[in-house]
Amino acid sequence: MSQPRDFRLTDGTVIDHLPVGTAARALELLGLPREGPITVGINIPSPSQGRKDIVRVEGLFLEKPELDRLALLGKHLTVTIVHEGTISEKTVLDVPERLIGILTCRNPTCVTNAEEVQTVFFKQEGYPYRFKCEYCERITEPGEAL
Ligand SMILES: [Zn+2]
């Protein structure tokens, strides 16, 4: 029998530079596992950030709302799309200025919790990210967001 090779993607997505401890949250946000193999690296040495988590998912291609959600996990996450074993696209994720329909307002009296209104949040200056609800102006603090 031959030795098992390192798991490499044929067609799928690599989510890299996740802050340590967020790989499991990333899987949860993406509703994984679905079909296809997944490899998860936790506490991997990284020249740029000391340690990081990394997730590789065969057969996964993300849509914009999923990418916006993932971006909330940390700064400068990298998403790499692999086709036929080679890298076809590499994107550094950034949290958009406006998050539409992604966060839930924690203010129980906010209109978005009483009616069928899509939430809109504005990113505030600085990191960790804070977001202001367009309707009630309540600030969502880091750690409350996801
Ligand atoms: Zn609100």
Q: What is the pLDDT along the chain (146 residues), one digit of tens a residue?
A: 444 456 689 999 999 999 999 999 999 988 888 878 999 999 999 998 899 999 999 999 999 889 988 999 988 899 999 999 999 999 999 988 999 998 999 999 999 999 999 999 999 998 888 999 999 999 998 778 77
How many Å apart are CA 104 and CA 113, to the nearest integer?
Answer: 8
- Centre of ligand 1 from the C-alpha of residue 123, in Å: 14
- Centre of ligand 1 from the C-alpha of residue 69, in Å: 18
- Centre of ligand 1 from the C-alpha of residue 67, in Å: 23
Q: What is the pTM of this model?
A: 0.83
Strand order of the β-sheet with 12-18 is: 38-46, 50-58, 12-18, 78-83, 86-92
**What structural domains does the chain harbor?**
12-92 (3.30.70.140), 98-140 (2.30.30.20)
- Could you read off the pLDDT of 25-42 as tens digits, one per residue? 999 988 888 878 999 999
Per-position DSSP letters for 95-137, written without gaps between them: --SEEESSS----TTSHHHHSS---EEEEPSSSS--EEETTT-
- Centre of ligand 1 from the C-alpha of residue 66, in Å: 22
- 122 close to 134: Cβ distance less than 8 angstroms: yes
- Centre of ligand 1 from the C-alpha of residue 72, in Å: 18
Residue 12: count other Cβ atoms within 10 Å of its Cβ.
19
Strands (E), 19-60: 38-46, 50-58
- Centre of ligand 1 from the C-alpha of residue 26, in Å: 25
